[in-house]
Structure 1
Amino acid sequence: MAESDRRHNRSMSIAEVAATGGQGWRQVGDLSLAFALTSIIGLERQFRGKSAGLRTQSIVGTASALILLVGKYGFDDVLGRESVVLDPSRVAAQIVSGIGFLGAGLIITRRGAIRGLTTAASVWEAAAIGMAAGAGLPILALVVTGLHFVIVLAYTPLGRFVASRGHAERSYTVTYLDNRGVLRELLAACTAHAWRVQSMSIAGYSEPGEPGRDTAQATGTRMVTVTLTILGPGATDAAAVLGELDGVVQIDAGDTEDD
């Protein structure tokens, strides 16, 4: 009896799709669900000031749902012919690869720092949520939306806690006043905290007479900028330690993963 009911419901849904041409209220509801859920994720990104915020996330999720719906229902008018066979999953697969280009544009590498990884992943996630909503899988779309906030709210402090106690590798760009023995103190501080210097290179100099070099002009001393890559326990918190040294002007922390 249950099998006959399922067949009856399936035949009814097929008839409904055929009558509406895949543009009924059910499909509108799928699009609306994708729009609502990805807008929530976009609000979280916007609140944190990330590059892919409310507009980007909602557009990606809603467009992904639309593309999937086109793959499911957009070719019904040609499926009546015996020689025509279509695979709707091929359209969905192209969404996954296409979103990769958008995510790559959000990742920025500067001075050894990689920023935008989580934001790029969230765009990919928004596409998946939109695909799930468009495929008529609302429970899965809702679950993944909830897990997004578990990841960004709970895993962020957890990740920092683990990194501060693990043997992490981190790069820092340090600007300090020249001829004051600051570099020697930097290396001594690394040794005192059991941080091993993996690499060190001079990134540039700032002369007192150069325009736009306010700190060098005020002190009358040349500034040196070096890039340090250190490895050891608590290396993720090294900026606070090195920044307290006398003569250090600025530290740019090269986070390997940006929210």
Structure 2
Amino acid sequence: MLEISVLSIIERISLAALLGGIVGWERDLRDKQAGIKTHLLVSVGSALIMILSTYGFHSMIDHENARFDPARLAHGVISGIGFLGAGVIMRRSDKKVSGITTAATLWVVAAIGLCVGAGFYAPAYIVTFVVLVNAFILRAIESRFFYSSGYVKLQIVDSEEPNFFGKIITLLGDYGIIMEGVKFCEYKESEVDFNCLNIIIFVKYKQNGCIVDFIRHLNSLQGFRVIDCNDKKVLLKNGEK
């Protein structure tokens, strides 16, 4: 007959919380929709369901009308986690979708929680390590050698200034940034300024440093003001609120 001690339950739930929280911490660093709290809860919940599936029905093992299958509830976790993943995926524009990586990490921490709940610790540690390598090391390689997509929202204070768009295009070329598209956007109350024009420029760039320098240069020009960016940390580095 399968049994588990209270100490072992506490150990497994705590470990699931730790590993899920580590993955969520990385998402929090990126200012994503699901962070430490969400990933921790998914991992802990998965561990709890796995413990329940393995040990919660031990009294029914020898029952003639019952079939013991610990994988049933685990299968439900993997299938049901999709509703959380769908909730964090957002379409920002015609060419930009965000939240896919966060949805994937939610799915992974569910699997990590199931492993911990089943007492299968080694795979849980290994997968957590792989997720962190993917998040930090591969992300750095990607930003160094591959293009990242984003947007910069500008406010043109003096919309009657001649060839203001030409200045922006010239600056983009100087910093090695590719312009993918332009869209005129609506005002927010906090953005309203007399005789101004708000536009969003969708861009591709290789290094975060170039987009920071580009925004800093734009802000130094008379008549231009950056009021939003896809990466909030870029604005904070640049001194924007």
The answer, yes or no, to whether TM exceeds 0.5 is yes
- Going from structure 1 to structure 2, the CA distance change for 1:239 and 1:203 (only over 3 Å counts) comes to farther
> Do residues 123 (structure 1) and 106 (structure 2) align?
yes
User: Which residue number corresponds to residue 235 of structure 2?
Assistant: none
Q: Is the 8 A contact 1:199 1:228 kept in 2?
A: yes
CA positional deviation for 1:78: 2.7
What is the rounded CA distance, in whole Å, between the counterparts of 1:48 and 1:72 in structure 2? 36
CA shift for structure 1 position 141: 1.0
* In 2: Cα distance, 1:190 partner to 1:47 partner: 27
Residues 176, 100 of structure 1: alpha-carbon distance in 2 compared, 3 angstrom cutoff: same
Between the aligned partners of 1:202 and 1:54, the Cα distance in structure 2 is 35
Deviation of 1:38 (Å):
2.4
Residue equivalent to 2:18: 36
Match of 1:103 in 2: 85
Residue 181 (structure 2) aligned to one of 193, 196, 199: 199
Question: CA 1:174/1:213 → structure 2, altered by over 3 Å: closer, same or farther?
Answer: closer
The amino acid of 2:110's aligned partner reads A
Deviation at 1:44, TM superposition (A): 4.8
Residues 238, 56 of structure 1: CA spacing in aligned structure 2 closer, same or farther, 3 A cutoff?
closer
Deviation at 1:66, TM superposition (A): 0.9
- Asked if 1:179 corresponds to 2:155, the answer is no
Structure 1 residues 153 and 175: alpha-carbon distance in aligned structure 2, compared to 1, 3 A threshold: same
Identity level (%): 27
Larger Cα-atom Rg: 1
Q: Deviations over 1:61-82 (max 9, x none)?
A: 1110110122222233333233
Call closer, same or farther: CA 1:229–1:39 in 2, change over 3 Å: closer
Residue 249 of structure 1: which of 193, 203, 225 is its match?
225
Displacement of 1:212 in angstroms is 4.2
Q: How far, CA to CA, are the matches of 1:124 and 1:31 in structure 2?
A: 18
Aligned residues: 224
In 1: Cα distance, 2:207 partner to 2:28 partner: 29
Correspondence 1:110-149 to 2 at 5 A: 110=92, 114-149=97-132
Determine if contact 2:143/2:206 at 8 Å carries over to the other structure: no
Residue 135 of structure 1 aligns with an amino acid whose one-letter code is: A
State the Cα distance separating 1:99 from its structure 2 match: 2.0
- Tell whether 2:133 aligns with 1:150: yes
Give distance in 2, aligned partners of 1:161 and 1:36. Answer: 31
Q: Which residue of 2 aligns with 1:94?
A: 76
What secondary structure is seen at the aligned counterpart in 1 of 2:185? strand
For 2:198, the equivalent position in structure 1 comes to 225
Q: Distance in 2 between matches of 1:240 and 1:110?
A: 24
Extract unaligned runs of 5+ from structure 2: 232-241
Instruction: Answer yes or no: is the 8 Å Cα contact 1:169–1:235 preserved in 2.
Output: no
CA distance in 1, matches of 2:144, 2:16: 34
Which amino acid is the alignment partner of residue 179 of structure 1?
A: E
Deviation at 1:249, TM superposition (A): 0.8
CA RMSD in angstroms, aligned pairs only: 3.4
